[in-house]
Amino acid sequence: MSDILHAEVMDNASEETKRQFEYIEKAKGYVADLAKELGRTPKACVVTFGCQMNARDSEKLIGILSKIGYEITESEEADFVIYNTCTVRDNADQRVFGRLGFVGGIKKKNPHMKIALCGCMMQEQSAIEKIQKSYRHVDLIFGTHNIFKFAELICTAFESDRMIIDIWKDTDKIVEDLPIVRKYPFKSGINIMFGCNNFCTYCIVPYVRGRERSRSPRDIIREIEYLANDGVKEIMLLGQNVNSYGRGLPEDEQISFAELLTEVCKVDGIKRVRFMTSHPKDLSDDLIKVIAENEKVARHIHLPLQSGSDEILKKMNRHYTKESYLNLVEKIRKTIPDVSLTTDIIVGFPGETDGDVDETIDVVRKAKFDNAFTFIYSKRTGTPAASWEQVPEEVSKPNFDRLLKVVQETAKEQALRFEGQTHRVLVEEINEQDEKLVTGRMSGNTLVHFPGDKSLIGSFVDVRLDECHGFYYTGTMV
């Protein structure tokens, strides 16, 4: 658990950062008053949906909440509950509405309780309208562009009994150096860019996260140096398409993702570097070379395929073909033989036929993915594909099932290739099912369970991979 605020950072903090620190001070007063009233420290709970970006944003929310005096809890039986939402597929939306109904019941018993909603779903007007109409017990709503104002918004919520809604359409503002509390002391995500400019025709992310903005390389390296000093050993560089990092930076800061990765690896104390996500259209030979030559870079590339059919890829606006994707995979596997390749695939995109899914399955067989996240296409209002003729479930569901079968077979075969070898793992936690075991993560991202105790958490150890169980191994420390 850590707090990135320190004197040196404060010296060169921007005006906005300073303003937010004034609100943090003010909010501390409000929380202290509440503590007096309750006769105990007030509790706050942040529930996170969605991707690594949201997970990182939640660490920023928890940073502010801790700073102003809340005790952080995992239970929604709290004095302040914040839902950090995702809207990439409809089921993500439905889960949030489900939680809101549930927490409404808790609030009935504790009228002083405050409920906030933020994140991607809040960038959609229709979601806001539904909440205003049917979920009146929500106190505060904000979006993905003004999360840095959280302390200010909390102050407003303490000062008013009305539902506060503050959504920004977009911003080019990046506010640095606010408090962050990490979930893991030994590993951390780092935003290197925000937003997305790719507009894949099925995807809502560019609409809810806004235009692509890269963070200054100096700020990124400074944050990573701070984290390394604070005990972080593994970092994950985060962006919707990290391969286009650097576009739009001022001339004196121009740097490619491959160059940034090289610089990041030079930071003392950082032992392993991951990144997420790579768009196949922008993955450069330079990047493959940097990964191959730099042991610190994890042997894992997540390379979303989405579809193996050229016609569907074109309609999706993905800017690559089945052939160019497979050539890229071949190049990667040749240059980095021990790499794990994972992917995302969508089934049921408008116009998709059984023949198109055959093409996708063919790519899965040829690319030999170590793992693949498969999704049924979900119609997102506002995206181009939403207005095209949709594929009925009777067609997409059987296609999804036969794709999943091949994905599982391939993943199992791939996992077997490391059995009997010894690999370096970062120990992350005590095994959930058996407390005599610990769980570690290999460079390729696969999990390994082996005998050990909590003193190992946060350290790198060598483990022999005794037995492969499909998606994970059991092993022995050597």
Residues lying near ligand F3S in the complex (CB under 6 A) are found at 50-51, 53-54, 86-88, 120, 205, 208-209
Rg (CA), the chain: 23
The residue (of 200 and 372) whose beta carbon lies closer to ligand SF4 is 200
Q: 231 contacts which partner out of ligand SF4, ligand SAH, ligand F3S, none, CB within 5 to 8 A by kind?
A: none
The residue (of 59 and 212) whose beta carbon lies closer to ligand SF4 is 212
# chain residues binding ligand SAH, by CB under 6 A: 17
CA distance 244 to 80: 38
151-179 as b/e, with b when 16 or more CB fall inside 10 Å? bbbbbbbbeeeebbebbeeebeebbbbbb
Shortest distance, CB of residue 347 to ligand SAH, whole angstroms? 9
Candidates 58, 277, 439, 446: give the one binding ligand SAH (CB under 6 A).
277
Q: 54 contacts which partner out of ligand SAH, ligand SF4, ligand F3S, none, CB within 5 to 8 A by kind?
A: ligand F3S
Site string for ligand SAH, 319-358 (x = CB under 6 A): -------------------------x-x------------
User: Looking at this protein, which amino acid is placed at residue 30?
Assistant: Y
Q: 380 contacts which partner out of ligand SF4, ligand SAH, ligand F3S, none, CB within 5 to 8 A by kind?
A: ligand SAH
Q: Do the Cβ atoms of 5 and 179 come closer than 8 Å?
A: yes
Interface contacts to ligand SF4, rule CB under 6 A: 196, 198-200, 203, 205-206, 240-241, 279
The residue (of 195 and 452) whose beta carbon lies closer to ligand SAH is 195
**Which residues lie below 8 Å from residue 158, measured CB to CB, with a gap of 6+?**
27, 30
424-443 as b/e, with b when 16 or more CB fall inside 10 Å? ebbbbebbeeeeebbbbbbb
- Strands (DSSP E) along 123-203, which ranges? 140-142, 164-166, 187-191, 193-194
CA distance 14 to 122: 27
Q: 86 contacts which partner out of ligand SAH, ligand SF4, ligand F3S, none, CB within 5 to 8 A by kind?
A: ligand F3S
The residue (of 128 and 305) whose beta carbon lies closer to ligand SAH is 305
The residue (of 52 and 474) whose beta carbon lies closer to ligand SAH is 52
The residue (of 206 and 384) whose beta carbon lies closer to ligand SF4 is 206
Shortest distance, CB of residue 47 to ligand F3S, whole angstroms? 13
From edge to edge, which strands make up the β-sheet containing 164-166?
71-72, 43-48, 80-85, 114-119, 140-142, 164-166
Candidates 205, 242, 290, 463: give the one binding ligand SAH (CB under 6 A).
205
* 240 touching ligand SAH, by CB under 6 A: yes
Q: 50 contacts which partner out of ligand F3S, ligand SAH, ligand SF4, none, CB within 5 to 8 A by kind?
A: ligand F3S
Q: 201 contacts which partner out of ligand SF4, ligand F3S, ligand SAH, none, CB within 5 to 8 A by kind?
A: none
CA distance 419 to 424: 14
Shortest distance, CB of residue 53 to ligand F3S, whole angstroms? 5
H/E stretch holding 462 reads strand 460-468
Candidates 52, 156, 378, 445: give the one binding ligand SAH (CB under 6 A).
378
The residue (of 226 and 349) whose beta carbon lies closer to ligand SAH is 349
CA distance 173 to 193: 12
Give Cα 284 to chain centroid, integer Å. 23
The residue (of 206 and 231) whose beta carbon lies closer to ligand SF4 is 206
H/E stretch holding 394 reads helix 393-416
Total residue length of the chain: 478
User: Looking at this protein, which amino acid is placed at residue 280?
Assistant: P
Q: Do the Cβ atoms of 55 and 183 come closer than 8 Å?
A: yes
Q: 199 contacts which partner out of ligand SAH, ligand SF4, ligand F3S, none, CB within 5 to 8 A by kind?
A: ligand SF4
Using CB under 6 A, which residues numbered 392 to 411 contact ligand SAH?
A: none
Shortest distance, CB of residue 371 to ligand F3S, whole angstroms? 17
Residue 95 CA neighbour count, 13 Å, CB half = 15
* 214 touching ligand SAH, by CB under 6 A: no
Candidates 30, 97, 375, 472: give the one binding ligand SAH (CB under 6 A).
375
Shortest distance, CB of residue 215 to ligand F3S, whole angstroms? 16
Q: 273 contacts which partner out of ligand SF4, ligand F3S, ligand SAH, none, CB within 5 to 8 A by kind?
A: none
Q: Which residues, listed in sequence order, are joined to residue 47 by a DSSP beta bridge? A: 83
CA distance 31 to 35: 6
* Closest to 368 measured CA to CA, from 318, 396, 329: 329
CB atoms within 10 A of CB 339: 20
Shortest distance, CB of residue 377 to ligand SAH, whole angstroms? 5
The residue (of 35 and 406) whose beta carbon lies closer to ligand SAH is 406
Q: Do the Cβ atoms of 164 and 141 come closer than 8 Å?
A: yes
In the complex, which residues of this chain contact ligand SAH (CB under 6 A)? 88-89, 202-203, 205, 240-241, 277, 279, 304, 306, 344, 346, 375, 377-378, 380
